[in-house]
Amino acid sequence: MMNSENKSILFSSQSFYPGIGGVSTLLLNLSKYLSNLNYKLYAIHLEMPRSANSSVALSYPVNEYIIPKSEITKDIYEGYATFKEEIYQHLHGLKKFNYENIYDVPGYSEFMQLSDIYAYYLLNALSENDIDIVHFQDYQVMLGISAIPSGVKSVFSLHAPLLKSIDPVLSKWFFKHLQKTDKVILSIPQYADIARNFGIQNNKISVITPIIDKDLMSKKVKLNIAYSIPKNAIVICCVQRFDSKSGQEQLVRAFSKLARKIENVCLLFVGESSFTDSISETRKNYFQQIKDLVFSHGLTSKVIFTGNIDYSQLSTIYDLSDIVVILSKMECFCLAVSEAMSKEKPIVVTNVGGLAYQVKDNFNGYLVKPGDVEQTFKALMALCESKELRYKFSRRSRERFINEFDPIIIIPKYHRLYQSLFSKKNIKNIDYENMYNLLR
């Protein structure tokens, strides 16, 4: 096996540490394991908002190239957020794509302007370091694939669902760029099948699921805030940001029915905003709508909103929980489910995408239909009424995690993929400034 020492990977992404959730968490976890394998790691990303709730220490070497927020105007950020939200909602099956051309999508111009800035920083990072592979994370930075010079390999990971319903205009735009990359990573086999049907060569495609930080999930950390959880209450926990594809409304409505049947029950919402909320008002209403729904159902005393918490404390939150619930309208994968399985929790999820890939119905949890409040209520009721059932599903969750989603299984897949691509070509003498001007 090829030695990874001195081999270098540059993660190209919209978000990174100290952002938590989604791609940021995946890269945080992946960086840890790859640094242990002696890879030299770099990251290029937009400047992340820093808060007291994102204080987990980055204790392994990652050389960061941060694109300052000060260099991007408010109008560019707003247009960029509008464009990517249109793409996001269509990829998750939430709305039709009613545009004849990709450049007709609102915010396209601003998306291209930000991509232009991004390409400049990307080429600077490549000119200053001997990078073997650039690993692009999701469609927000996809256009950077075209900026990669000969001699540097590229990998692209899609962190959104790839559905058969994708509009031809959008699929044409996507796959025009993906054809230029050396490898495409998809989260579950279903997405890989669709990619092949759209013309991506089979030898380019790898199915590799995202990974959690198993060591972090095993630690017990004192919480910064003592939450008012009633003694001996059955705690139902949802770890998920609030956005258009998330299913917190379905959960609140089902929990309202449950709370009328079982008195000593508590609902914990963990998460709040994403990076998009820091640059745009595109998603501003989702969180408030759920808080208003909780109030209107008279559930204020039984529902706790933790907001975004320190990632290092998430393990303790799972320890407090009896049942974990994720009810997305569509979900690419969802690391929270993997985390819950590693923590031996019974899980209720919607029967979509990566959620249904991780949870087996009536094995380690229940699958329910998106929007089906009654089915969700019955699933929660069954788990709340039977401690024995919760225990049975809990043991099976842990078993399924160990067999399918443990980093010990997943990291070698990344390792083998990277090793197959390492280039020996020296690219230090390339005129990057001239190349950037040509790309423009």
pLDDT at residue number 308: 85
Please report, for the chain, how many H helices and E strands are present, in that order.
16, 13
The pLDDT score that the predictor gives to residue 283 is 58
Whether 8-211+407-439 shares its CATH topology with 214-405 is answered yes
**Dihedral class, residue 161 (left if φ above 0, else alpha if ψ from -120 to 50, else beta):** beta
Letter for the amino acid at 229? I
36: left (phi over 0), alpha (psi -120 to 50) or beta: alpha
**Class at the top of the CATH hierarchy for domain 214-405:** alpha beta
Q: Tell whether omega for the bond before 68 is within 30 degrees of 0, i.e. cis.
A: no
Give me the pLDDT at residue 435, please. 40
Q: Just give the CATH number of 8-211+407-439.
A: 3.40.50.2000
pLDDT at 22: 86
According to DSSP, the residues that pair with 323 across neighbouring strands are: 236
- CB neighbours of 406 closer than 8 A, spacing ≥ 6? 214, 342
Q: How far apart are CA 19 and CA 215, in angstroms?
A: 20
pTM for the model stands at 0.91
Q: Do residues 418 and 4 lie in contact, with contact meaning Cβ atoms separated by under 8 Å?
A: yes
Burial class (CB in 10 A: 0-12, 13-18, 19+), 372: middle
Structure-block tokens of residue 394: 């809990």
Cα-only R_g, the chain: 22
Query: pLDDT averaged over consecutive 10-residue blocks of the chain (440 residues)?
Result: 73 87 90 92 88 52 92 95 95 95 97 96 94 96 92 95 95 92 97 94 96 92 82 95 93 98 95 64 78 96 91 92 98 97 98 98 98 98 98 98 96 95 54 43
Look at residue 163 in the predicted model and tell me its pLDDT. Answer: 95
For the chain, domain boundaries: 8-211+407-439, 214-405
Amino acid in position 249: E
Count of other CB atoms within 10 angstroms of residue 414:
23
102, 108 contact by CB (below 8 A) = yes
